[in-house]
């Protein structure tokens, strides 16, 4: 990925998340884009990136062979929201993750958006289970049949995402 694409994706997330969260989410996106294991799916309109979703490895410490990802962040430029861009990047990313043999995808997100794409609330642990005040926001999408049921125990995201504030759902609502 070249510098122009990275800058465009970071900008999408900054603008999509607004003044309150935009800079923090943009920083996270930029860090994730610099990691070899990150999967990035974008949507373009008129040659311009208008939506993006990122996936980073998500590990169940007792199940090291499970190939799981954490979806974060997912953003669409405000002027393109409500025009099918989110749907496009979600459908493309699910297809891509299935094609690379991912077992499951987890997201701590908007409970009214992700279920449209097959995500369901899960009782699998986040890295900071004590901070989970909105369990309906923690969801999983099983891509390999039966894989989520087998998962249990402690989890870990990539180091940059292992900060407690990213997992504290009491701040949102």
pLDDT at position 100, please? 97
CATH of the domain at 140: 3.40.630.30
pLDDT at position 73, please? 97
Question: What stretches of the chain adopt beta strand conformation (E)?
Answer: 39-45, 48-60, 68-76, 104-108, 120-121, 138-142, 155-156
128, pLDDT greater than 80: yes
pLDDT at position 3, please? 86
* Section 82-97 average pLDDT: 97
106, pLDDT greater than 70: yes
* Section 139-167 average pLDDT: 95
pLDDT at position 169, please? 84
CA distances from 141 to 42, 45, 77, 164, 166 (A): 20, 28, 25, 23, 20
Express each pLDDT in 8-21 by its tens digit.
Answer: 999 999 999 999 99
pLDDT at position 153, please? 96
Q: What's the mean per-residue pLDDT of the chain?
A: 95
Domain hosting residue 131, numbered range: 3-171
Express each pLDDT in 60-75 by its tens digit.
Answer: 999 999 999 999 999 9
How many folded domains does the chain comprise? 1
pLDDT at position 172, please? 59
pTM above 0.85, yes or no: yes
CA distance 160 to 168: 15
């Amino acid at each position: 990925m070249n510098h122009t694409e990275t800058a465009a994706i970071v900008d999408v997330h900054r603008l999509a998340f607004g003044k309150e969260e935009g800079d923090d989410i943009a920083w996270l996106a930029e860090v994730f884009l610099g990691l070899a294991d990150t999967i990035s799916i974008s949507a373009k309109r008129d040659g311009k990136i208008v939506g993006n979703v990122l996936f980073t490895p998500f590990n169940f410490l007792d199940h090291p062979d499970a190939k799981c990802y954490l979806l974060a962040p997912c953003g669409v430029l405000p002027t393109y929201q409500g025009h099918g861009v989110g749907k496009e990047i979600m459908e493309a990313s699910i297809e891509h993750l299935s094609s690379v043999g991912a077992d499951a995808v987890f997201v701590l997100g908007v409970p009214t958006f992700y279920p449209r794409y097959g995500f369901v609330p899960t009782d699998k642990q986040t890295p900071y289970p004590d901070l989970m005040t909105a369990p309906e926001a923690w969801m999983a999408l099983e891509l390999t049949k039966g894989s989520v049921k087998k998962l249990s125990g402690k989890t870990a995201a990539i180091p940059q995402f292992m900060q407690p504030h990213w997992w504290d759902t009491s701040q949102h609502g």
